[in-house]
Amino acid sequence: MVELMHILNAIGKQTMKTLTARQKTALARHKKAHGHTKKHISEMKRLMLRAKNPLSFTQAHKQTMRTKGK
């Protein structure tokens, strides 16, 4: 498994995306200001980080409000 990760990194493919610093602070501010649940925040993170068709903060929030609620 470790060898596979080294091979993927060597050819330029990342195995795990992370949120940018701006996205992290925006999510923290959003959770505090609007009192969203852990389920809401984790769903937003998942939508913003998914490999196929990642969403922007606003798009992720709109979709999460429809599916998970506050």
Please write the tens of the pLDDT for every residue from 12-59. Answer: 555 568 999 999 999 999 999 998 999 999 999 999 999 999 999 999
Contact between 39 and 68 (Cβ < 8 Å): yes
pTM exceeds 0.85, yes or no:
no
Q: What is the DSSP string of 9-70?
A: HHTT--SS----HHHHHHHHHHHHHHT--HHHHHHHHHHHH-SSSPPPHHHHHHHHHHHT--
Across the chain, which distance is largest between two alpha carbons, in Å? 43
Please tell me whether residue 1 adopts helix, strand or coil conformation: coil
Please write the tens of the pLDDT for every residue from 4-24. Answer: 666 666 665 555 689 999 999
Domain borders along the chain are: 20-70
